[in-house]
Chains A and B, each alone.
Chain A
Amino acid sequence: EDQWSPLNQEGKKQYDRGFLLQFQPDCTSKPQGLPDIPDIVLEKADVRPHL
């Protein structure tokens, strides 16, 4: 198993959808430096569930 982890930082960074999806609800801080594009950039996080 050559998967990246905190203990195997040289491993391959491959993640399945389930692994990636679990982080969605916790990442609600607005990224810095987003351009001003009112059509698409939201002020508040909109965590859209995808089950």
Chain B
Amino acid sequence: QISDEVEKLQIDPLIKHPLQNRWCLWFFKNDKSKDWADNLRQITSFDTVEDFWALYNHIQSAAKLASGCDYNLFKDDIKPMWEDDRNKTGGRWLASFDKRGGKLMVDIEKLWLETVLCLIGEGFDEESDIVNGSVVNIRAKGNKISVWIGDYKREEAVLKIGRRFKERLGLPPRFQIAFEAHQDTIVKKGSSAKSRFTI
């Protein structure tokens, strides 16, 4: 038995580290000559730590994307859109880095990577099962990062996820993040939906 274990340890470097979930990275580019859905493209999916880094190291930094572009990272069987069955009853925690207000100078690439590492490493603990994905929006008027959750009615889980998200991004207490249910975002009047919670 001991020799079995020694053998396994020796092949350790050859074993890729499996992730709990398979994830898919999507890219959105705002090309007004095309339909919204045609601007959203799957890049690739992965389910090991090593495959994630190989992908990350071969795509452009979020900070260098043109305004109007997004990266979306979602569990492989969930589309990064409200209409997906797993998103319909959900919502998102939204961190808005408004440039006009000069609220907070941030390295958007670093914050996006922190968010992604939290998702793929199952950093939301027991609440990870209702975390569907995450989005970074690159916009001239201010970048945004959101964490999408599958069920806005599970308030306690939603709040725990929000607190962990804020903590992992290292945001100061005065910087507020807001939770919106997708159904409120769809019917919003004006530029922002009502927030169900803020932290």
Contacts and interface: CB of A to CB of B under 8 A. Distances in A.
Contacts of A6: 8-9, 11-12, 15
Contacts of B113: 50
Interface string B13-52: 0010111100000010100000000000111101001111
A48 B109 contact: yes
Contact of B58 (A12, A17, A19, A42): A42
Contacts of B53: 23-24, 26-27
A12 B125 CA distance: 10
Contacts of A50: 109-110, 113
Interface of B: 5, 8-9, 11-12, 15, 17-20, 27, 29, 41-44, 46, 49-61, 65-66, 69, 109-110, 113-114, 117-118, 120-123, 125, 168
Nearest to A22: B49
Interface of A: 4, 6-7, 12-17, 19-21, 23-24, 26-31, 33-35, 37, 39-42, 45-48, 50
Given A23-B53, A41-B60, 16 more contacts: A6-B8, A6-B9, A6-B12, A6-B15, A14-B20, A16-B121, A23-B50, A24-B57, A34-B43, A34-B58, A35-B41, A35-B43, A40-B43, A40-B65, A41-B43, A48-B109
Given A6-B9, A16-B123, A28-B57, A39 B66 contact: yes
A35 B27 CA distance: 11
Nearest to B29: A39
A33 B109 CA distance: 24
B8 A20 contact: no
Contacts of B5: 7
A37 to B, nearest CB: 6
Given A40-B65, A48-B61, A13 B19 contact: yes
B58 A41 contact: yes
A26 to B, nearest CB: 8
Contacts of A33: 44
Contacts of B56: 24
